[in-house]
Amino acid sequence: MIAYGENIKVFCGNSNPEFAKTVCKELGLELGNGMVQTFSDGEVAVSLNETVRGADVFLIQSTCKPVNNNLMELLVMIDACRRASAGRITAVIPYFGYARQDRKAKSRDPITAKLVANMITAAGADRVLTMDLHAAQIQGFFDIPVDHLLGNPTFVKYYLDKFPEDQYNHDDFVVVSPDVGSVARARAFATKVHMGLAIVDKRRQKANVCEVMNVIGDVKGKTCILFDDMIDTAGSLCNAAQALVELGGAKEVYACATHGVLSGPAFDRIEKSPLKEVVVHNTIPVPADCPCTKIKQLDVAPIFARAISHVHGGTSIADLF
């Protein structure tokens, strides 16, 4: 149980209630008595059944599928708390949707991540707490403080426990970035687990479709760990795994990513791919009837609970990194 002060309230929407309950259990709190419903025409209705006047309120809501519904729920919850005179409102967004639309890739493109940041701020949020944004600069899209947690330490512990250095030669392991854009993220992870680094160079033809070109680095006969921030349709991931085995001669391929979006054909692709195991965090819930046997979830609710405790207490969250 984590120590916390008085007058703290935690509420959640419908995106990941089990995650919110686990966070509250870690904090030693009861989940706030609130209700988030949808009218027959699709409108979101929020009812807070306890006072939040002057309270330090934390609203837990991932903006995952259905993205627009969950985002609207978050905005209406923020507005409800603001109008109920909450002392401070922190939007706890384990997975921040629209993060991939963070720049103008071509003429007349919107920068939707900035638009969403503006909406959250305008609704009345005083602070945002999130994990592994697709692009770190999205923190600057907000005009309010953003605490950006990292999923890296959880994966480091998992793989060092799975492949301890006293039993495995880490020279036979390689961390692989599935694209050039994720190299910095993969390099930081590789340094902490004392493994080499390789890159899968790919050329994306259109959204959610990519063509693998070649493997940069020595992966022949080695165990590879593909490392990324999210898995959506799993096309890039499975193509990268295929390339590592067929072009690079890798012995085994594992994968991990903070956010398991897992939309469309993702489950089927992963099940049929050369991947031995895919590890994701529970920032987005994986269905209980998940048809893929290779997917494993790690719990990051304790990290968010500690962060909430630090934010509430006004102390540094540096120790979480």
DSSP assignment of 79-122 equals: HHHHHTTBSEEEEEESS-TTTT--S-SSTT---HHHHHHHHHHH
- Listed in sequence order, the residues at least 6 apart from 105 whose beta carbon sits closer than 8 Å to its beta carbon are none
- CATH code of residue 192: 3.40.50.2020
- The torsion defined by the Cα of 150, 15, 48 and 5, in degrees rounded to 10, comes to -20
Q: Is residue 321 part of a domain?
A: no
Are residues 277 and 190 both part of a single domain?
A: yes
Give, for 171, the enclosing helix (H) or strand (E). Answer: none
Compute the average pLDDT of residues 110-125: 98
Are residues 74 and 158 both part of a single domain?
A: no
* The predicted structure's pLDDT at residue 1: 47
Cα distance between residue 180 and residue 216, in whole Å = 10
Percent of the chain residues past pLDDT 90, beyond the cut: 87
Residue 207 has pLDDT above 80, yes or no: no
- Half-sphere exposure of residue 117: CA atoms within 13 angstroms, side-chain side: 21
Q: Name which of 24-33, 186-195, 217-226, 283-292 the model is least confident about.
A: 283-292
Q: How far out from the chain centre does Cα 244 lie?
A: 25
Compute the average pLDDT of residues 170-184: 92
Cα distance between residue 109 and residue 117, in whole Å = 17
Q: Is residue 238 part of a domain?
A: yes
Q: Is residue 2 part of a domain?
A: no
pTM greater than the 0.95 cutoff: no
Enclosing domain of residue 74: 8-150+301-316
Q: Which amino acid is at 73?
A: E
Compute the average pLDDT of residues 241-250: 93
Are residues 53 and 117 both part of a single domain?
A: yes
Looking at every residue in the chain, the average pLDDT score rounds to 93
- DSSP strand pairing (252-260 vs 196-206): unpaired
Q: Which amino acid is at 66?
A: P
Are residues 160 and 294 both part of a single domain?
A: yes
Do 174 and 216 contact (CB within 8 A), yes or no?
A: no
Q: Which residues are catalytic?
A: 202
Are residues 136 and 56 both part of a single domain?
A: yes
Domain total of the chain: 2
Q: Is residue 3 part of a domain?
A: no
* The predicted structure's pLDDT at residue 100: 94
pLDDT (tens digit per residue) in 93-113: 999 999 999 999 899 999 999
* pLDDT level of residue 291 (50, 70, 90 thresholds): confident
Compute the average pLDDT of residues 32-50: 96
Q: Name which of 7-11, 84-88, 104-108, 204-208 the model is least confident about.
A: 204-208
